[in-house]
Structure 1
Amino acid sequence: MTQPTEIERLIEMMAKLPGLGPRSARRAVLHLVARREGQLAPLARQMQQVADTARACVRCGNIGTAELCPICADGRRANGQICVVETVADLWAMERAGVFRGRYHVLGGTLSALDAVGPEELRIPDLIGRIAEEEVSEVILALPATVDGQTTAHYIADRLEDRVTLTSLAQGVPIGGELDFLDDGTITAALNARKPL
């Protein structure tokens, strides 16, 4: 067997990205190579720039290019609310909605006994430190509705009890959702969280 060519190595690397398999990676690479000057070269330069400058915000864990991300650096966002999320992708999803105007805290995962992930492997001690240092009045737990997500939420709630107001995102029927397509847990959560009209 011959040594992989540079293009084959690039396809192998691209295939490791989320959402791309070998076929999709091959199509993407062939597309980029065919448009070398217009797309491949600028993409390579931008990827190198991100590799050189990207870093985690020292306060919240968001990805940026400075010690503090733009959200933490914005004094208007210091309104006493911290939204706790599992990943940077979750933070970005919340920001896309454009309704939360406080600050965030990225845990970097959830507690998991099976995977030996405890509080020290996550950014939970940093969160508790922020509550003590900043004027935080509410912590919003925006964690996944999974066993590990709920375990993490309960752990944090126990640590912050009587220190701040704790809230969580509502769970239930999504906008545009049809009952026939929902699982039993979602229907149960929606029914239990019902509110008057």
Structure 2
Amino acid sequence: MATGHSLGASGYGCRQGQSGRAGHRTSLNLSADPPARGSASIHHMKPNDTLRPGERLFALLLVIFAGYAFWESYGISGFRGLTTGGVMPMLASCVMLLTGLVFLSDSLRKPRAPDSGLAGVIAYLFPLRVVLFTLLVAIYVAAIPSVGFLSASGGLLFLTIWALWRKGPIPALLISLLSIGAIYVLFRVVFQVVLPIGSLWR
């Protein structure tokens, strides 16, 4: 009888344990927040679903340029053989043409962006930072005959590192000096390349 009571008690304890674990799992499932209804659509959205400013025009110009390049490549030797001089240009222009057609068809399926006008294209292609650094590079090229290659390159490195890294002028100056020193040792001492000195130091 004692054995029967112990078996019954153990069976009841097992059933209680299983029901407790099931209830715990149910409570965990109920306590978990259901996924938001719009989260799936957010995850499935891609950043290039909308047409970028100027993307369709660029694809069209790429197709036109690739077609012109293929025509010029065909004029070299035509299809007279695989070892002629126009085979590689024709192959490259053909790949460019097919890629441009894929880009153009993809851009035609995308919805038009609200800022896809001329002002939006200019703002997208030429942001202020790109314009400023383009002017800086133009000033650097124009300053090389006067101040020399090393001085102009050091100034360009200093300004770009200071503007982009934003760690202060002292670290930018140290990195610029180390870079110019490495350039001088590599090109002037090792390879014996004559660097432009500049008319200002003569």
TM range (shorter): under 0.3
Q: Which protein, 1 or 2, shows the higher relative CO under an 8 Å CA cutoff with sep ≥ 6?
A: 2
What TM-score, normalized to structure 1? 0.27
Q: Mark the structure with the bigger radius of gyration.
A: 2
More strand by proportion, 1 or 2?
Answer: 1
What TM-score, normalized to structure 2? 0.26
